Amino acid sequence: MTSSDPEKLMAKADKMTKLSFTRWNADWKNAAVLYEQAGISLRVGKHYEKAKLAFEKASKGQEMLSSPWDAARHMESAAAMAKEIGSWNEVADFYRRASELYIECGRSQPASDAVAKGARALEESLPEEAVNLYINACDILEEDEKEQMAFDLYRAAASVYIKLEKYEDAATVLLRWGLAADKCNAKNSQCKAYLSAIIVYLYIHDLKQAEQCYNDCLQTDAFMGSDQFRSASKLLSAYREGDTEEIKRVGQSSIISNLDHVIIRLARKLPTGELNAFQAGAAREEEGDELDEDNLV
């Protein structure tokens, strides 16, 4: 057994951190170095479970030394090892802890990146947890007024929500992306986000919410003069008129083809329900408006 044997390094480090009658203070400084060396060696040897434990201990050592940056870095390594062995709950926990440690350093970008890595790792196995991590990553950047760096995260979160068939949540995230883009003066992204949200509402056959979303988006000058605005207007008009062919034609348009793939797939399937109900509902609303006007006379 050589001095570079990871098992020996771990044992030596463990001994340094245990208090006894002859050792009154833990030697975290040297132990952290040994844990890191053991973790690297075990990772190279593909002993991922043991490497995970080594990096966890290296992270704890750096915390004890009041070095949150190095602690976060080792915690990310532990998360990567947890991913290798399919320990998905640990993946989430470790990346969250790494993010918290980066925040202690005042570093929002790596803090957001850490939970985003966790989200990407969990999309297939734990999609609910993945979307929570994506939202967490967005929150971190928004708090630091770095919304422009979160655009891909909003899109990823919306995509996972759609896969989970949580369409209203997806629309909410898309609108949140639109507001963030507005703050950054990223007009093209803003308009794409708004049109995408409207398409999501149409996909779940909620014309009322789609129109409300459309009217809210009209409050922004950027959307009013955009190609996305024109596509949304055409879609809603076609729904009101019960024109299935026009809905399909707009769904195949180049403007919609430039949206994210998950949104394009939804748009290509429109309309998803009977249009007669929409027309009847619109007629009732018009009659109600006329009665209201009479009451005002």
CA distance 96 to 81: 15
Burial 181-206 (b: 16+ CB within 10 A, else e): bbebebbebbbbbbbbbbbbbbbbbb
Taking alpha carbons only, the member of 211, 115, 207, 131 closest to residue 176 is 131
Same domain, 272 and 188: yes
State the Cα angle at 235 between 250 and 277, rounded to 5°.
Answer: 125
Residue 156: predicted pLDDT = 98
Structural domain of residue 259, as residue ranges? 166-297
Q: Where are the alpha helices (DSSP H) in 47-206?
A: 48-64, 68-84, 88-104, 108-122, 127-143, 151-163, 167-183, 187-203
**Residue 156 domain-assigned (yes or no):** no
Residue 138 sits in the same domain as residue 1? yes
Query: In sequence order, what are the residues at sequence separation of 6 or more whose Cβ sits closer than 8 angstroms to the Cβ of residue 154?
Result: 138, 173, 174, 176, 177, 180, 193
The tens place of each residue's pLDDT in the chain, 297 residues long, gives 345 799 999 999 999 998 765 665 889 999 999 999 999 999 999 999 999 999 999 999 999 999 999 999 999 999 999 999 999 999 999 999 999 999 999 999 999 999 999 999 999 999 999 999 999 999 999 999 999 999 999 999 999 999 999 999 999 999 999 999 999 999 999 999 999 999 999 999 999 999 999 999 999 999 998 999 999 999 999 999 999 999 999 999 999 999 999 999 999 999 988 887 666 555 555 555 554 545 443
- Domain count across the chain: 2
Is the same domain home to 227 and 131?
A: no
8 plus 125 within the same structural domain: yes
Check residue 1 and give its pLDDT. 38
Return the amino acid letter for 74: H
pLDDT at 274: 82
Q: 113 and 172 share a domain?
A: no
In a domain, 157, yes or no: no
Which pLDDT does position 18 carry in this prediction? 87
Q: What separation in angstroms does the CA of 161 have from each of 6, 28, 95, 122, 243? A: 43, 43, 21, 13, 29
Q: What is the pLDDT of residue 292?
A: 52
pTM summary value? 0.88
3-state secondary structure of 296: helix
CATH code, domain with 182: 1.25.40.10
Would 149 be classed as within a structural domain?
no
